[in-house]
Amino acid sequence: MKIILVMALALFAIPCKADMLGAASKYDRMHERSISFLDINPRRTSWCGAFLAFIAKRSSRQPPANPNMAVSWKNFGQPVFFRFARRGDVVVIRSGRRFHVSLFDHFDQRRQYVYLFGGNQSNRVQLSRYRASSVVAVRR
């Protein structure tokens, strides 16, 4: 009976979305000189969105239109309240007139800072800290 139940659950299970943070972590510490697979020039293009589009595709997710523009990731997936962010959620932040997109990792203890993993963070793929007040969108 247990075997039949397990088989039925496997057949009718809703496929879960692949882990984008897990896929991105394979590129940890990769410098922008090594990102030729993105087909962009990192000296001319902010490549955070291009890197995330590459990861989304590898995770069977559909990037938004114009994925190289970080602000366009505000239309990716479904909106999530910032306080309910989970590891791997897409986070768009604003710094002055510019935007940056990355993947949520965790909050600091007082939730003043958010740690994001992504590309074009000090010219490489890495985990970096940002002010929580700079977050403009969280998407899942």
Q: Identify the residue with better confidence: 134 or 39.
A: 134
Q: Identify the residue with better confidence: 1 or 59.
A: 59
| pLDDT, position 8 | 43
Backbone angles phi, psi at 68, to 5 degrees: -70, -20
| pLDDT, position 43 | 87
Whether 77 shows a pLDDT value over 90: the answer reads yes
Mean pLDDT for 67-88 is 96
Confidence label for 92 from pLDDT (cuts 50, 70 and 90): very high
| pLDDT, position 102 | 98
Taking CA atoms, 38 is separated from 52, 53, 57, 104, in Å, by: 10, 9, 12, 21
Whether 6 shows a pLDDT value over 60: the answer reads no
| pLDDT, position 97 | 92
CA-to-CA distance for 58 and 24, rounded, in angstroms? 9
The CATH code that applies to domain 18-137 is 2.30.30.30
Contact 90, 52 (CB under 8 A): yes
Place of tokens 């995330």: 52
For residue 109, the number of C-alpha atoms closer than 13 Å in the C-beta half-sphere is: 0
Confidence label for 69 from pLDDT (cuts 50, 70 and 90): very high
| pLDDT, position 1 | 55
